[in-house]
Amino acid sequence: MLFEAFSLRATQLSNRTVMSPLTRHRAVDNNTPNSLMATYYAQRASAGLIITEGTSPSPNGLGYARIPGLFNDAQVQGWKLVTDAVHAKGGKIVVQLMHTGWVSHKDNMPAGTEVLSASSGTCPGQMRTDTQGDQPHSPARAMTEADIQTVIGEYATAARLAIQAGFDGIELHAANGYLLEQFLNANVNRRTDGYGGTAEGRNRLVLEVARAAVKEIGAERVGIRLSPHGVVNSTSAFDGVDEQYLSLVKQLSALGLMYVHVLDHSTMGAPPVPAKLKADLRAAFDGPFILAGGLNKASAEQALSEGHADLTAMGRPFIANPDLVERMRQDAALNAPDPTTFYTPGAKGYSDYPTLAG
Ligand SMILES: Cc1cc2nc3c(=O)[nH]c(=O)nc-3n(C[C@H](O)[C@H](O)[C@H](O)COP(=O)(O)O)c2cc1C
């Protein structure tokens, strides 16, 4: 089934392998996509769908060095290079909107920006900076209700700019402990107003952002990524997590979103997402369902044939294998990814992995 075509709402995919979103830190000038990035994505255009690296809808969400944004005209023009190159090769591509929230360091961020999150505090752990190496995260200020309205507007604008830039849609990154999950997760969100305190309050920002994006570009072009039970960036499970996510996904289903994308990082050492929860989330969403995390050809085929997902996403295999789909089709050997070049600037370890053709 992996090589069968699929209708992702209005978008026709040539196969069911999705390229997972992969932050690669190559937007070296002013967080603006460039021709090197266009080359890299075009090399991977035989994926059924490409989900771009996390891309900030706001200057305040650029917590990592050299990640791209989507809030100004230069970035729209930069992304146009990417979408044109992918479409010219017959691929489909959505942009992942990622606001880093408290997973940020001031040295990585443009002047005049602020580290914001659901609550005040400092994300435990460290972040790489180009200026001073690994540093503790910068402290975050708790967002006011006015800040929340601003950020919802930023997501809506980014959704509109995404269509201007030629994307087939957007993916809201509500996983891996970034801003939207900072609101979803009871271990991070300590608010006592209407955006916290209860499951309904914690789900509220994600739903308001989703509705705002839907209003701009239509539900069939808005997907979302979720990681219940994830532990990245000081999240982790909390009392009632399963019920909260089920309620969230039911409401996202009512909106008719493009897809729900659920991530299980257990192959990277994280606790597994309970199989029952994955099945319940799939059942709760009346639409396309993507699973990701540690998949290979055999496990992806199995997930599809057993009906656990409509599409399967792969990350690290796509870093090292631009022609991953063809390699899987032929059962050819895969190149191994080199983690030392995951986040370094330049073409090395980025656009220079060989295809089967050389
Ligand atoms: C270098 C690297 C960068 C990543 N960047 C992102 C990102 O920007 N957004 C996201 O949702 N996940 C990101 N992830 C997680 C991947 O999308 C994926 O879920 C993870 O690698 C597990 O899937 P895999 O086993 O197929 O690689 C990243 C992972 C890696 C290795």
Q: For residues 128 and 106, what is the distance between their CA atoms, to the nearest angstrom?
A: 11
- Residue 4 region, left (φ>0) first, then alpha (ψ -120 to 50), else beta? beta
352, part of any domain = no
Structural domain boundaries, residue 67: 6-341
The reported pLDDT for the residue numbered 199 is: 98
358, part of any domain = no
40, 41, 155, 178: the catalytic one is: 178
Give the nearest ligand 1 atom to 339 CA: 1
Give pLDDT tens digits for 177-235: 999 999 999 999 999 999 999 999 999 999 999 999 999 999 999 999 999 999 999 89
Query: Cβ(95)–Cβ(69) under 8 Å?
Result: no
The single residue listed with the structure tokens 């729209």 is 76
Task: Output 46 or 269, whichever has higher pLDDT.
Answer: 46
265, part of any domain = yes
Task: Output 231 or 56, whichever has higher pLDDT.
Answer: 56
User: Does residue 341's CB lie within 6 angstroms of at least one atom of ligand 1?
Assistant: no
Closest by Cα among 176, 210, 185 to 119: 185
Closest by Cα among 83, 114, 84 to 101: 114
212, part of any domain = yes
178 is catalytic: yes
Q: Pairing relation of β-strands 11-13 and 6-8?
A: antiparallel
Q: What is the mean pLDDT of residues 140-159?
A: 98
CB-based burial, 101-113: b 16+ in 10 Å, e otherwise: bbbbbbebbeeeb
The single residue listed with the structure tokens 């009512």 is 254
Q: For residues 76 and 164, what is the distance between their CA atoms, to the nearest angstrom?
A: 7
Q: What is the mean pLDDT of residues 2-30?
A: 98
User: Does residue 20's CB lie within 6 angstroms of at least one atom of ligand 1?
Assistant: yes
pTM: 0.98
351, part of any domain = no
Q: Which residue type does 328 have?
A: M
295, part of any domain = yes
Whole-number average pLDDT of the chain: 97
Give the pair of three-digit tokens for residue 62: 């650029």
First-last CA distance in the chain: 27
254, part of any domain = yes
Q: What is the mean pLDDT of residues 125-140?
A: 96
Ligand 1 centre and the CA of 320: distance in Å?
Answer: 13
Give pLDDT tens digits for 319-334: 999 999 999 999 999 9
The reported pLDDT for the residue numbered 217 is: 98
By the 10 Å C-beta count (0-12 exposed, 13-18 middle, 19+ buried), 73 is classed as exposed
347, part of any domain = no
Ligand 1 centre and the CA of 314: distance in Å?
Answer: 8
Is it the case that residue 268 has pLDDT exceeding 90?
no
The reported pLDDT for the residue numbered 49 is: 98
The reported pLDDT for the residue numbered 80 is: 98
The reported pLDDT for the residue numbered 267 is: 86
Q: How confident is the model at residue 270 (pLDDT cuts 50, 70, 90)?
A: confident
For the residues of 183-214, what is the DSSP string, one character each? Answer: HH-TTT----STTSSSHHHHHHHHHHHHHHHH
Q: How many domains does the chain have?
A: 1
User: Does residue 26's CB lie within 6 angstroms of at least one atom of ligand 1?
Assistant: no
Ligand 1 centre and the CA of 194: distance in Å?
Answer: 31
Closest by Cα among 284, 281, 314, 286 to 300: 314
Q: Is the CA virtual torsion 180, 232, 49, 40 positive or negative?
A: positive
Give pLDDT tens digits for 73-104: 999 999 999 999 999 999 999 999 999 999 99
- The CATH number given to whatever domain includes residue 284 is 3.20.20.70
